[in-house]
Amino acid sequence: MKSKWLVALTVLLVVFLAACSSGSDSEGPAMMEKIGEGEGRVDIIAWAGYIEEGKTDPAFDWVTTFEQETGCDVNVKVAATSDEMVALMNEGGFDLVTASGDASLRLISGGKVQPINTELIDAWDTIEPKLQNAEWHTVDGVHYGVPYQWGSNVLMYNTDAFGGQTPDSWNVVFEEMTLADGQSNKGRIQAFDGPIYIADAALYLMAHRPELGIKDPYELNRDQFNAALDLLRQQRTLVGRYWHDAFIQMDDFTNEGVVASGSWPFQVNLLQAGGAPIGSVIPQEGATGWADTTMMHTNAPHPNCAYLWLNHSINPKLQGDLAAWFGSVPSVPSACNGNELLGPDGCKTNGIDNFDKISFWKTPTTTCDSQTECVPYHEWVTNYVAVIGGR
């Protein structure tokens, strides 16, 4: 077991160091000036459920028409975590990645993604203004991606276990307690298998231990960081599994007795559609979340098809269908209107009014705005591996 965690630690450190190594020795390719003839394919790293071609449900397919119209075959590599996305982009051979905020700036600083010529993105002005210049993909006024979707990490729970009541706090996954079904939550909860989850603990402490003075869950000084680790060590005694695969998590809720966990609306929607007794909520402490950006590799093998996909990705039909499928919010507000799959209240249900309440994922660095110095991401990596390993 010890060697297993040492191997995991080594892999994560390699991911971090590769992401942070400077690619600035060369300026990289110039920004594309025009879109030429497609190369016949585009290779995309994406979160599960983000690029659908109707295989799971024929109603959800935004790949087939793109392939027919452009001649670019879409090939998707599903990644389970942001660290995996960074590692795959470091390996190369991919055109695009749907990066969350805890990966995007690492990719930019590592020289792995190229600037986007927004003049080649026909519907750029239709993107939500708050997202157009968002700090997780815009550096010194230069855009390194096209906003895709955003949403929150919800508390997913088994309605039977909670007696039909909606839990109002994340304490159900951080503290041992007896639930409405008369059983302890111990062994029946999950936590996310990624270092960025430390921010979820910090967000909980912001509400329950104000004396720590946490103002931003991604900007933690040493004492705040240690307090978050202590909470996660306490949680470790309750966790049945650390999840990163959305489909395995769904199976655990369906067949393995898991009753509560942080999750994505994607899992909630699929489980509810299958008739499982599942609910979700953003508790009183708030929630972390993600605003994902489609970014283009510096050495994209198929740049013309990549730009064609970037344009396709903010098509209102795609945006609305994806929001209905994943439980996310479109980056194009007009997609909220008139989409048959999303319905008239879909964006409101998915949390479009919660933008200012979400603590969006971002990469922790030593330089921070809320205080003098903060614990950098590589320490989040090593310490979270230790927590999962029981140390």
CATH assignment at residue 125: 3.40.190.10
- Rounded distance between C-alpha atoms, residue 220 and residue 158, angstroms: 32
The residue-averaged pLDDT of 173-186 equals 98
Task: Answer yes or no: do 158 and 173 share one domain.
Answer: yes
Instruction: Give yes or no for residue 27 having a pLDDT over 70.
Output: no
Burial letters for 235-249: b for 16+ Cβ neighbours within 10 Å, e otherwise? beebbbbbbeebeeb
Q: Is the pLDDT of residue 272 over 90?
A: yes
Q: Is residue 358 part of a domain?
A: no
Rounded Cα distance between 128 and 122, Å, is 14
Domain span holding position 294? 2-151+290-353
Assess if residue 359 is contained within a domain: no
Q: Does the pLDDT at position 6 exceed 90?
A: no
338 shares a domain with 318 = yes
Mean pLDDT of 335-353: 94
Residue 29: band (very low, low, confident or very high) from pLDDT cuts 50, 70, 90: low
165 part of a folded domain: yes
- Going by DSSP bridges, is the β-strand pair 146-152/329-330 parallel, antiparallel, or unpaired? antiparallel
Q: Is 175 contained in some domain?
A: yes
Q: Which of 8-12, 316-320, 365-369 has the lowest mean pLDDT?
A: 8-12
pLDDT tier at 1 (50, 70, 90 boundaries)? Answer: very low
Give yes or no: residues 379 and 327 share one domain.
no
Q: What is the pLDDT of residues 102-151, one digit of tens each?
A: 999 999 999 999 999 999 999 999 999 999 999 899 999 999 999 999 99
Q: So what's the pLDDT on residue 4?
A: 37
Give yes or no: residues 283 and 303 share one domain. Answer: no
Residue 156 lies in a domain: yes
Rounded Cα gap, residues 210 and 287, in angstroms: 17
Burial of 276 (0-12, 13-18, 19+ CB in 10 A): middle
Q: In total, how many domains does the chain have? A: 2
State whether 202 and 92 are in the same domain. no
- State residue 354's pLDDT score: 87
218: nearest Cα among 135, 288, 139: 288
